[in-house]
Amino acid sequence: MILRTGLTGGIASGKSTIARMFADLGCITVDADQIVARLYQPGQAGHDAIVRTYGSGILLPDGTIDRRKLADVALATDESAKALNALIHPLVVAEEVRMMDEETRGDGDRIVMVEATLLIEAGGKDRYDRIIVVDVDPETQLARAIARGMTREDAERRIARQMPREERLRYADYVIDNSGDLRAAEAETRRVFGLLLRDLRL
């Protein structure tokens, strides 16, 4: 049996760090951002869809997509961001499903975890047995986003575009509070991992 698990959270919540901790504990982890990066390569479906929609002006000289230029064009407004998501999300979801289906053909019980920022918005509640939300308090989230190199204005704009914290938490089967330090995050991850193991055996 496999337990299909979705891991999500707002920007700068520490999802990738938590996903690595789950991987160290034995979960099979899938990073949706890596799927997007693969789909954006020349010859892939995402690359074709992007060029068809936005033109060759968003390409670098080597033919790869200029992610910064694409973001400037496609994420300028809420409407344009939704249009890009509608274009790419079905391709990402199809690849996630394919990868999880591959795991069902193996032997033994496993926890397969997909890490994705817009997991809930893309209908994740229906694709996963459990959803884990990595949560941080708003002040910590903003401080971490700025520490990554964003301006305060850009960080606030990107946070405002995402699903509100309270709404995201309503979808959670389990919540990992990542407002503290690394040791606290490890303890929270181990706690939820124990709950997932229990669910796997049900």
**For 153-193, what is each residue's pLDDT tens digit?**
989 988 988 899 999 999 999 999 999 999 999 999 999 99
Who wins on pLDDT, 81 or 44? 44
Residues pairing with 114 in the sheet: 6, 30
State residue 108's pLDDT score: 81
Sketch out the chain's domains with CATH numbers: 2-201 (3.40.50.300)
Give the Cα separation of 3 and 156 in Å (integer): 35
* Cβ pair 13, 158 in contact under 8 A: no
- Flag whether pLDDT at 33 surpasses 80: yes
**For 2-24, what is each residue's pLDDT tens digit?**
999 999 999 999 999 999 999 99
Give the Cα separation of 73 and 54 in Å (integer): 8
Q: What is the pTM of this model?
A: 0.88
State residue 20's pLDDT score: 97
CA 98 to each of CA 18, 95, 104, 109, 182: distance values in angstroms, whole numbers, following the listed order:
23, 5, 10, 18, 33
* Cβ pair 163, 29 in contact under 8 A: no
Q: How many CB atoms lie within 10 A of CB 62?
A: 6
